[in-house]
Amino acid sequence: MKNNNKKISYFINWFWFQYDFLNRYLWKMFDFEIKYPNIKKYTPGWKYIPLNFFLLKKLYKNNKIQKYNIVHFNNTENFLNFKKNDNQISIAESHGFDFWVNYKWLVKDEKNIFKYIIWNIINFLIWWKIKKKIQEFDIYYCSTPDMLEPLKKYVRKDVKWLPNPINTNIFNPEGSIIKLEWSPACFFPTRLHWDKKPEYAIDIFKKYIKPNFPNATLHLLNQWFELNKYKKILLDKNTYFWHDFMDKETLASKIRWSDLCFWDFSIWGLSLMPMQIMACKKPIITYDKHEIVKVEKENLLNLTKKILEDRNFRNDYIEKNYNHIIKYHTEDAISKIHLENLKPILKEKLNINI
């Protein structure tokens, strides 16, 4: 780093995985600091969002944010708190279907008319304010490629895709395993929430996998809004197993034992979990329209059949996905992309050459 021997101060508001990998790969140039609400257990969004909003509001009021060379906001609610500073580099990042940015594309399929009306009213009242604020940031990122075109069209034309990074020190084919009951053991480590559309995975399991593989089991997470709904439906204790929240190492160990994994059926791109599964060399059934799986929802059952019935196809599918992750989604690769995006702005606004 030229023209300045002091590290560049870099503030992140959520996510921990982002802080963790950037700090490990770019620590020589940047002094990273992360702040988010001090919550000791799972907190639903309707509670977390105001906590996070008022945390940032207080930091601005006390002139804490202004001291950083770079600020990086990952939570949509805090785009509203942002105050542009000519001596500060600013980054906004949208993850998945963010509230008030692109959430309307998700709720268009909502069957509950009450929820549909409420979400559209909220979008109508707040969306334009968020959109206006997003224009003020120096860099605007999205985390999955399915968001690029909608965001370019409706929010900001120069939005950039910064791929999600995978920690291959944890998520890899080697390492410890934790056995899942019976075989084929199907692992569905997503939250049971309407926006993930878990019914797709459960239908595939009930209508095809279980009838054709009598010893098959489905392993689900013991959390989120629709948990009670599905526990009332999935009653067979020898078929359906419920897992509590787990750390990343435990998650990777369970993935390694699984025969097949399910993930999100709502968004059109790969989020972190399916890529972590791919990095462990396990087959994944998910709705990914833009990146590597590229199978429409109506054909996911056929994909499941081929994975479980055709060993050569299964091996080729696993290898193709794994190689894609290693090539495009390692933490090292994403750190370099981010650094290249920062270089011209560091020179322009802070007169720093890297």
For residues 200 and 254, membership in a common domain is answered with yes
pLDDT > 80? residue 200: yes
For residues 307 and 262, membership in a common domain is answered with yes
pLDDT > 70? residue 39: no
pLDDT > 60? residue 104: no
CB atoms within 10 A of CB 131: 16
**Residue 61 CA neighbour count, 13 Å, CB half:** 6
* Contact call for residues 11 and 33 (beta carbons, < 8 A): yes
How much is the average pLDDT of 34-45?
75
For residues 222 and 321, membership in a common domain is answered with yes
Place of tokens 């692992």: 187
Ranked by mean pLDDT, which of 127-136, 153-162, 209-218 comes out on top?
Answer: 209-218
pLDDT tens-digit series, residues 161-172: 999 999 999 999
pLDDT > 70? residue 315: yes
For residues 65 and 142, membership in a common domain is answered with yes
For residues 207 and 82, membership in a common domain is answered with no
pLDDT > 60? residue 235: yes
The alpha helices in 234-354, defined as continuous H runs, are 248-257, 272-279, 300-309, 311-328, 331-350
Rounded CA-CA distance 167/175 in Å is 14
pLDDT class of 345 with cuts at 50, 70, 90: very high
Stated as kind and residue range, the H or E segment containing 16 is helix 16-26
**What is the predicted pLDDT for the residue at 110?**
59
pLDDT > 70? residue 243: yes
How much is the average pLDDT of 25-30?
96
How much is the average pLDDT of 96-110?
57
In a domain, 206, yes or no: yes
pLDDT tens-digit series, residues 262-304: 988 876 778 889 999 999 999 999 988 888 888 888 899 999 9
In a domain, 177, yes or no: no
pLDDT tens-digit series, residues 12-26: 998 888 999 999 999
For residues 161 and 204, membership in a common domain is answered with no
In a domain, 346, yes or no: yes
Q: Is 211 helix (H, G, I), strand (E, B) or coil?
A: helix
In a domain, 64, yes or no: yes
Rounded CA-CA distance 219/281 in Å is 18
- Kindly state the percentage of the chain with pLDDT values over 70: 91
| DSSP letter (8 states) at residue 205 | I
pLDDT > 80? residue 31: yes
pLDDT class of 56 with cuts at 50, 70, 90: very high
* Contact call for residues 146 and 175 (beta carbons, < 8 A): no
For residues 133 and 273, membership in a common domain is answered with no
In a domain, 46, yes or no: yes
pLDDT > 80? residue 88: yes
How much is the average pLDDT of 103-122?
65
For residues 142 and 235, membership in a common domain is answered with no
* Contact call for residues 200 and 297 (beta carbons, < 8 A): yes
Q: Is 121 helix (H, G, I), strand (E, B) or coil?
A: helix
**What is the predicted pLDDT for the residue at 192?**
79
pLDDT > 80? residue 249: yes
Angle at 203 between CA 201 and CA 206, to 5 degrees: 110
Residue length, the chain? 354
Buried b (16+ CB within 10 A) or exposed e, 217-255: bbbbbeebeebeebeeebeeeebbbebeeeeeeebbbbb
Which range of residues forms the domain containing residue 75? Answer: 8-165+330-350
Q: What is the pTM of this model?
A: 0.85
How much is the average pLDDT of 86-103?
77
For residues 199 and 302, membership in a common domain is answered with yes
CB-based contacts of 25: which residues, under 8 Å, 6+ apart?
Answer: 331, 332, 335
- By CB atoms closer than 10 A (0-12, 13-18, 19+), residue 65 is buried
**What is the predicted pLDDT for the residue at 40?**
61
For residues 134 and 256, membership in a common domain is answered with no
**What is the predicted pLDDT for the residue at 267?**
66
- Kindly state the percentage of the chain with pLDDT values over 90: 63
CATH number of the domain where residue 121 is located? 3.40.50.2000
pLDDT > 80? residue 30: yes
In a domain, 289, yes or no: yes
DSSP string, 309-327: H-HHHHHHHHHHHHHHHHH
How much is the average pLDDT of 16-43?
88
**What is the predicted pLDDT for the residue at 103?**
52
Total domains, the chain: 2
Average of per-residue pLDDT values in the chain? 89
pLDDT > 70? residue 79: yes
For residues 24 and 148, membership in a common domain is answered with yes
pLDDT class of 42 with cuts at 50, 70, 90: low
In a domain, 180, yes or no: no
In a domain, 294, yes or no: yes
